[in-house]
Structure 1
Amino acid sequence: MTVRKKRLPFVVSGRRLDGKPGRTVTVSSPTGLELEMPRFDAELASEMIEANRQSLADLPLQEILSFLNRAGKNWKSEEYVRRRFYVRQLQDILGYSDPAANAEADRIAILLTSHARMYDMIAAELGSRYIVDDWTAREECWVRALPRGLVLHILPSNVPLSCAISIVRGIITKNVSVAKMGAGDLLTAVALALTFTDLSTTHPVTRSMNAVYWEHDNPEGLRLLGAADAVCAWGAEEAIAHAQRHARIDAAVTSFGPKESFAIIDASMDPAAAAKGLAHDVAIYDQRACFSIRRVYLTGPAEPFLELLRKEMDRHEELLPPSALTDDKSASIQIARREELFFGAGVHGSDALAWTIVVCPANEGYTDHPLSRILYVYPVESLSEAYQYAHPGVQTVAAHPWHLLPEHRDEFAKRGVSRFVELGLVHLFRIGGTHDSINPLQGLVRLVSTEAPGSVHGKGMVVNLDETAMLQAGTLKDLVL
């Protein structure tokens, strides 16, 4: 059988780089293609390490957001060549359906054009939307957020939008970014970088962006990792540990490691809305995302709800058709179904293996989730029974109806859950919310302060700050009056 091959480029500081004979690496795609790219070598590593790390520091934020907005407007057009090529590549290389690929391109377009929300994001996470441009008054000081410098993004393979989000975070905090692509998504970072070159090959944002790939043990990749001022590491435990182990000791390492999410539902209250929201949160990204719902704890009438859920799973199979199934993935779904039937669970699913619902007691079910829209439903007497299944590896708890959250969130949060949302909205991260219990922008900046002079009375004081005089007069204990 002939193996299909495709060539993919790097983008380095506004330049497209294609692989040269004898200096390439090959990666297999989820659809069985062989992807050939340039080899990441010492010359590329040195160029990025030696680049001006403060090249965006004095560029006004409004200019950066304006540039991103122009890029996003291009992506909103289905005729834009980069978008069209990206959508086709998502299908051909990653196995996305056409509706899912176009939905992902739409989400990237929305992200890039959300300039007002980017101002709000900076204000929420750093204290003021002006703080990246100027010194901002804060109590008895003036504070400014300066870029860390060279930020290495170790990007995920499961959610293309997360790649774009990580890159945008680096840009709006005025850092120089190296986007190290994951083997499962060698498309998104390059597509964004080439979009920037379409606008201008010399714009500072374009020049600050690098999209590359290297194998896990590439020594030049390790050298760059060790030289980065900050690292945003996405992925499995091994990838996170690798980044933490090899990063510079004073580098800020922000990790978004492997997580899972589940839902709590009272099926006695508007079960149709609950079924719709749950089907959406199972279908999006085929459960590959940290926020994807993989299990649900259910109170109330189960059978009427399951009937509605089966219809919604069928509907979402049409709205967001699942990614193409490989032979191995098809086999894993069938094995999972047969195992659950053997152990006495109720199993419902589409003939095409597009989705599966497993109904079983709460103390049973998967240990290693097979993904692919397999949902475990646990009927319980009380939703408090779900507390014991909450832990720091659970990112999101989604609820229907929403008012269940104030009742249960404290117990879940104490056990490590970091995010609570209404069912059907797991993929929409609200401005002001945290990401895996942190404000990510804080790891991308240095917060520098200028403190007020001694002539400025501190809060609660009525005298100048002169500790020497106070020591001489024996009035140090009256420093705060």
Structure 2
Amino acid sequence: MNHSPTAQQVPGTVTVCHFIKGQTVHGAECEHGPARARFATPRLDLDQLVWTRDRPGPAFDTPVAEIIEVLEQTGQLLKSDPHGLVAEALENSLRTGPLPRHIMEFSYENISAPFNRTSLEFQIRTELGGADVLDGWRVINDAPSGRQSRIRAFPPRLIHIVAGNAPGVSALTVVRGALTKGVHLLKLPSNDLFTAPAILRAMAAVAPGHPLTRSFSAVYWRGGDEQVERALFRPQFFDKVVAWGGDSAIRSVSKYIGPGFELVSFDPKTSISMIGREVFDSQDTLEAVADKAAFDVTLMNQQACASSRFQFVEGSTEQVDRFCALLQQRMNIDRPTASAIGPRVSAELRDEIDGLRMLEPSYRVWGGHGGEGLVIRSQEPVDFHPDGKVVNVVQVDDLQDAVRHVNIATQTVGVYPPERKAQLRDRLACAGAQRVVNIGGSAGVEAGLPHDGFNPLQRFVRWVNDEG
């Protein structure tokens, strides 16, 4: 099964390597992307991208302890980068991706963090109860029937539709895939074509030919390409597709879901902040909280799911306006995870915002359209999606009133002061929220804790019973 879109390479096109079952594959037969960010990839041979069910995957019987050792060494190599794999990925990513250099440098400096042994062991312990259920059959003696049974978290066969809004997503995908021992085909996102291949090439340098290395492939095809996806998204090859992305990406994948082929979805999410009137106790407190709130808004230039887009603030109009002015100022600074000047606000959003400027005092706007950060104050949430360093601050009399605006698409809720989380979290969970943090703590979901409302390792594996 060959798949090769017709293309004529032009000068300046970036070449993307594929990684297939432990081997780096070079080539530039297929060209993709807009004129400003063209990239070329090897021709796809779809037969090479599947693992048939007539034999186990390479790492199905590899002990977890050995897998952790390989992952830890991979992380160490990524950190020291003796072969320049991370440096090469960084430079290429800057040519094709949307994030500026200093954010990408920070991301790649920390790309080894998920490979920490303590974190790996924590994930297995908290999500699966221990490595025994991965390495063999866990004995269950206390079933109500009195029968002894055994269960195993059996290695899966997964396709991963990886998100490209942050390089850490690729690192998490590789780590979770490795810990579950399965075979994994990663579809590279057009806005992060180089992170996953760099990680897998580092793994191959650490453990060439190892069963774990041979359990991964990472290639690019255009999302929604029916010629590719109709051939691959089948239960005779894979158990599940793990999809990150926006609504259109999830819907595109969903049409292939049926008996024997499941969807594990990291759905598109919106995150918010809830700030109590305690923030106005002093000017120092107000400035400190505004800075933390700005961090949450601008995370990865507001491209992360955990980026706060709506902030509900208790107080009078005069108090909330003071907060808004400080928030906009703090959005207009460089951070490791954000730019002082980000992308310009889109024309569509500009029209929406300019219309609100005409409605003062019901609405008030701070900042401009040049990427410096823009704050809209209102009595009810705006009916459009704030994006590109745009945040809607909603004045409320009581944080409890803000809960009605939470739904199943709400991922992270940042709260100030932290003591008020306890009185809010049950109602937030009931409304659909999946994560409650202190203000300023939106970045970095702790690996091993639930992610988007479920434990990924539990969902990745296939649970099999041996009863009686």
Coarse TM-score class (shorter-chain normalised): 0.7 to 0.9
Counterpart of 2:130, as a letter, is S
Q: Among residues 337, 340, 365, which one is paired with 1:347 in the alignment?
A: 365
Equivalent of residue 358 in structure 1, options 363, 376, 384 = 376
Q: CA deviation at 1:316?
A: 3.9
C-alpha deviation, 1:336, in angstroms? 4.8
Q: 2:201 aligns with which of 194, 197, 204?
A: 194
- Checking the alignment, whether the CA contact within 8 Å between 1:214 and 1:221 is kept in structure 2 is no
C-alpha distance 319-169 of structure 1, shift in aligned 2 (>3 A): closer
Task: State the 1:265 CA deviation.
Answer: 0.4
Give 1:89 deviation, angstroms. 2.4
Q: Helix, strand or coil for the counterpart of 2:291?
A: helix
**Match of 1:388?**
404
Partner of 2:85: 82
1:336-362 Cα offsets, whole Å, 9 max, x none, are 542331333322226842311111222
Residues 1:72 and 2:79 aligned together: no
- Secondary structure of the residue that 1:202 maps to in structure 2? coil
Greater shift in the superposed pair: 437-446 or 348-357: 348-357
Q: Give 3-state SS (helix, strand or coil) of 1:385's partner.
A: helix
Query: Which structure 2 residues correspond to residues 148-297 of structure 1 after superposition, within 5 A?
Result: 148-215=155-222, 216-226=224-234, 227-269=237-279, 270-297=285-312
Aligned runs of 1:135-146 on 2, under 5 Å? 135-140=137-142, 141=148, 143-146=150-153
1:330 Cα deviation after fit: 5.4
Equivalent position to 2:385, from 368, 371, 389: 368
CA distance in 2, matches of 1:229, 1:319: 35
Alpha-carbon distance between aligned partners in 2 of 1:274 and 1:94, rounded to the nearest angstrom: 31
Query: After the TM superposition, which of the residue ranges 82-91 and 329-338 deviates more from structure 2?
Result: 329-338
Over the matched positions of the two proteins, sequence identity in percent amounts to 24
For 2:14, the equivalent position in structure 1 comes to 6
Distance in 1 (alpha carbons) for counterparts of 2:341 and 2:73? 31
Task: Say whether residues 1:423 and 2:424 are aligned partners.
Answer: no
Distance 1:247 1:163 in 2: 23
TM-score using structure 2 length = 0.86
Matches for 1:435-454 after TM superposition, within 5 Å: 435-451=451-467
**CA distance 1:437–1:349, shift in 2 (3 Å):** same
SS in 2 for 1:103: helix
Query: Paired residue for 1:407, among 412, 420, 423?
Result: 423
| Residue of 12, 15, 20 corresponding to 2:23 | 15
* In 2, Cα distance between equivalents of 1:351 and 1:397: 26
* AA in 2 matched with 1:214: W
Match of 1:92 among 85, 92, 95: 95
Distance 1:356 1:49, change over 3 A: farther
Greater mean alpha carbon deviation, residues 388-397 or residues 2-11: 2-11
Q: Match of 1:465?
A: none
1:101 shift after superposition: 0.7
| CA shift digits 1:113-167 (9 cap, x unpaired) | x222221112211222332123334443464434343211011132321222122
CA distance, structure 2, for counterparts of residue 324 and residue 50 of structure 1: 48
Q: Which amino acid aligns with 2:158?
A: V
Question: Which letter maps to 2:24?
Answer: R
One-letter code aligned to 1:121: Q
CA deviations over 1:85-134 (Å, ceiling 9, x no partner): 1222232221322221122113321012x222221112211222332123
Which residue identity lines up with residue 27 of structure 1 in the other structure? G
Shift of 1:52: 4.7
Q: Quick check: 2:350–2:369 contact (8 Å CA) kept in 1?
A: no
- Read off the aligned partner of 2:197 and give its amino acid letter: V
- Change in CA separation of 1:352 and 1:134 when aligned onto 2, cut-off 3 Å: same
Q: CA offset at residue 334 of structure 1?
A: 4.2
Letter matched to residue 63 of structure 2: P
Aligned ranges 1:18-33 → 2 under 5 Å: 18-19=26-27, 21=29, 24-28=30-34, 32-33=36-37
Tell whether 2:105 aligns with 1:102: yes
Distance 1:257 1:449 in 2: 30
Range with greater deviation from structure 2 (156-165 or 333-342): 333-342
2:163 alignment partner, SS class: coil
CA distance in 1, matches of 2:186, 2:341: 25
Name the CA shift for 1:147/1:239 in 2 (closer, same or farther; >3 Å).
farther
- Judging changes above 3 Å, is the alpha-carbon distance between structure 1 residues 220 and 272 closer, same or farther for their aligned structure 2 residues? same
Q: 1:184: how far off?
A: 2.4
Correspondent of 2:394 among 350, 362, 378: 378
- 1:54 aligns with 57
In the alignment, the residues of structure 2 paired with residue 316 and residue 232 of structure 1 have an alpha-carbon distance, to the nearest angstrom, of: 34
Output the TM-score relative to the length of structure 1.
0.84
User: What count of residue pairs does the alignment treat as equivalent?
Assistant: 441
Alignment partner, residue 111 of structure 1:
114
Cα distance in 1, alignment partners of residues 54 and 221 from structure 2: 19
Are 1:83 and 1:105, in contact at CA under 8 Å, matched by a contact in 2? yes
What's the CA shift string for 1:390-420, capped at 9, x where partnerless? 1111112111111222111222222211211
Task: State the Cα distance separating 1:450 from its structure 2 match.
Answer: 4.2
Residue 178 of structure 1: CA displacement? Answer: 0.3
* Cα distance change, pair 156–176 in 1 and its aligned pair in 2 (3 A): same
Deviation of the 1:248 alpha carbon? 4.9
Q: Highest Rg: 1 or 2?
A: 1
The root-mean-square deviation of aligned C-alpha atoms, in Å, is 2.6
Q: Secondary structure at the match of 1:153?
A: strand
The one-letter amino acid paired with 1:396 is T
Q: What SS is found at the alignment partner of 2:463?
A: strand
One-letter amino acid matched to 2:248: E
Kindly state the Cα deviation for residue 207 of structure 1 after the two structures are TM-superposed: 0.9
8 Å contact from structure 1 (residues 252, 443) kept in 2: no
> How far off is 1:278 after superposition?
1.1
* Cα distance in 2 between the residues matched to 1:80 and 1:333: 44
